[in-house]
């Protein structure tokens, strides 16, 4: 079991972020008799997944919905699958946009370099 500060350091996030995820019902760490949070290996694994979803711009509302569905149980597998497939499509759209932007930047950079070389 891990304290909130240990998880914070392990994952490279603030304790505020971990408390926020708890407030948003994305994570529900155990608490001891003194109400001190205690995170399991599974909690840390789940938080790593949550962080990947956030890094790929999944809105917190969708992450919260995914967490809710997971807690509800196996009968929500179809809904969870659809949510993740929709997010994967959004990621693919982001990748296309980034590639197109990179191509435009490469063109502009090349044009500027050529201009500088021919002065």
Percent of the chain clearing pLDDT 70 (strictly above): 100
Q: Where are the domains of the chain?
A: 4-117
Q: What pLDDT sits at residue 18?
A: 95
* Arithmetic mean of pLDDT over the chain: 95
What's the DSSP call for residue 1?
-
pLDDT digits (tens, 9 = 90+) for 63-102: 999 999 999 999 999 999 999 999 999 999 999 999 999 9
Buried b / exposed e along 4-21 (16+ C-beta atoms within 10 A):
beebbeebebeeebbeeb
pLDDT digits (tens, 9 = 90+) for 20-31: 999 999 999 999
CATH architecture of 4-117: Orthogonal Bundle (1.10)
| Alpha-carbon span 55 to 70, nearest angstrom | 20
Task: Give just the sign of the alpha carbon dihedral 84, 89, 95, 101.
Answer: negative
Task: Tell me the pLDDT band of 119, cut-offs 50, 70 and 90.
Answer: confident
Structure tokens at 68: 């809710």
Residue 113: which pLDDT band, with cuts at 50, 70 and 90?
very high
- According to the model, what pLDDT value does residue 32 have? 87
Q: What is the pTM of this model?
A: 0.77
């Amino acid at each position: 079991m891990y304290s909130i500060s240990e998880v914070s350091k392990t994952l490279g996030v603030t304790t505020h972020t971990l408390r926020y995820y708890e407030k948003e019902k994305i994570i529900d760490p155990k608490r001891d008799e003194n109400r001190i949070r205690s995170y399991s290996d599974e909690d840390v694994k789940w938080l790593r997944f949550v962080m990947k979803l956030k890094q790929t711009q999944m809105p917190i509302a969708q992450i919260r919905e995914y967490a809710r569905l997971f807690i509800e149980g196996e009968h929500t597998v179809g809904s969870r699958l659809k949510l993740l497939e929709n997010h994967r499509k959004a990621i693919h759209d982001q990748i296309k946009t980034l590639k197109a932007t990179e191509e435009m930047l490469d063109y502009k950079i090349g044009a500027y370099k050529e201009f500088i070389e021919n002065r």
